[in-house]
Amino acid sequence: MAAQQPEIGPLLEGLAGDEAASAAAKLREMAESSPERITGAPVVAALLTALAKPAAAADAAAALRAVAESSPEAALAVLAAPGALSAIISALGGADGAKPPVDGAPAALAAAARAAGREQARRVADAAGAVPALVRLIDREAPGAQDALNALVEAGAAIEVAAALGELLEPATAPAARRARALLLSQPLALPEVAVDALAICAANTAKLRVRVAALEALLAAAAAEMANRPELCAACKKPGSDQDKLRPCAGCAGGPAGRILYHAGCQRGDWARHRTYCRAAAAVAAAAAPAAASAPAAAAAAGGSN
Ligand SMILES: [Zn+2]
Ligand SMILES: [Zn+2]
For the range 117-123, what are the long-range contacts, defined as Cβ-Cβ under 8 Å and sequence gap of 24 or more?
117/72, 117/76, 118/154, 118/155, 118/156, 119/155, 120/75, 120/76, 120/79, 120/80, 121/151, 121/152, 121/154, 121/155, 121/157, 122/152, 122/155, 122/156, 122/157, 123/79, 123/85
Q: What is the distance in A from the centroid of ligand 1 to the CA of 90?
A: 53
The whole domain housing 271 covers 230-287
Q: Are residues 129 and 196 in the same domain?
A: no
pLDDT tier at 137 (50, 70, 90 boundaries)? confident
Q: Are residues 268 and 219 in the same domain?
A: no
Q: For residues 235-239, give the mean pLDDT.
A: 90
Q: Is the pLDDT of residue 292 over 50?
A: no
Q: Are residues 115 and 180 in the same domain?
A: no
Burial of 110 (C-beta count, 10 Å sphere; 0-12/13-18/19+): buried
Q: What is the distance in A from the centroid of ligand 1 to the CA of 30?
A: 62
pLDDT tier at 206 (50, 70, 90 boundaries)? very low
Q: What is the distance in A from the centroid of ligand 1 to the CA of 247?
A: 8
Do you find a cis peptide bond into 188, omega within 30 degrees of 0?
yes
Q: How far is CA 159 from the centre of its chain?
A: 10
**pLDDT value of residue 144:** 87
CATH classification at residue 118: 1.25.10.10
pLDDT in tens, 183-203: 555 554 556 565 566 565 555
Q: Is the pLDDT of residue 307 over 50?
A: no
Q: Are residues 146 and 197 in the same domain?
A: no
Q: Is the pLDDT of residue 249 over 50?
A: yes
The domain boundary, picked from 178, 206, 227, lies at: 227
**pLDDT value of residue 294:** 41
Q: What is the distance in A from the centroid of ligand 1 to the CA of 65?
A: 51
What are the b/e assignments for 143-181, b being 16+ CB within 10 Å?
ebbbbbbbbbbebbbbbbbbbbbbebbeebeeebbebbb
Q: For residues 295-305, give the mean pLDDT.
A: 42
Which ligand does the CA of 235 lie closest to? Answer: 1
Q: What is the distance in A from the centroid of ligand 1 to the CA of 281?
A: 22
* Residue 28 resides in a domain: yes
**pLDDT value of residue 2:** 44
Which of 6-15, 18-27, 148-157, 221-230 has the highest average model confidence (pLDDT)? 18-27
Q: What is the distance in A from the centroid of ligand 1 to the CA of 264?
A: 4
The 3-state DSSP class for residue 251 equals: coil
Amino acid 199 reads: L
**pLDDT value of residue 296:** 44
Q: What is the distance in A from the centroid of ligand 1 to the CA of 233?
A: 8
User: What is the number of alpha carbons within 13 Å of residue 33 lying toward its C-beta?
Assistant: 11
pLDDT in tens, 141-163: 788 887 888 788 777 777 677 66
Q: What is the distance in A from the centroid of ligand 2 to the CA of 283?
A: 8
Q: What is the distance in A from the centroid of ligand 2 to the CA of 268?
A: 9
Q: Are residues 135 and 176 in the same domain?
A: no
* Residue 293 resides in a domain: no
* Residue 307 resides in a domain: no
Q: What is the distance in A from the centroid of ligand 1 to the CA of 273?
A: 15
Query: What secondary structure letter does DSSP report for 232?
Result: -
* Residue 43 resides in a domain: yes
**pLDDT value of residue 293:** 46
Which ligand does the CA of 241 lie closest to? Answer: 1
Count of beta carbons in the 10 Å neighbourhood of residue 29: 17
* Residue 301 resides in a domain: no
**Which residue, 159, 96, 169, is CA-closest to 132?**
96
Q: What is the distance in A from the centroid of ligand 2 to the CA of 269?
A: 11
The partner residues of 262 in beta bridges, in order of sequence, read 234, 249
Q: What is the distance in A from the centroid of ligand 2 to the CA of 287?
A: 14
Q: What is the distance in A from the centroid of ligand 2 to the CA of 291?
A: 19
**pLDDT value of residue 217:** 63
**pLDDT value of residue 232:** 85
Which ligand does the CA of 268 lie closest to? Answer: 1
Q: What is the distance in A from the centroid of ligand 1 to the CA of 8?
A: 67
* Residues having C-beta closer than 5 Å to ion ligand 2: 250, 252-253, 279
Q: What is the distance in A from the centroid of ligand 2 to the CA of 161?
A: 28
Q: Are residues 271 and 188 in the same domain?
A: no
Q: What is the distance in A from the centroid of ligand 1 to the CA of 251?
A: 15
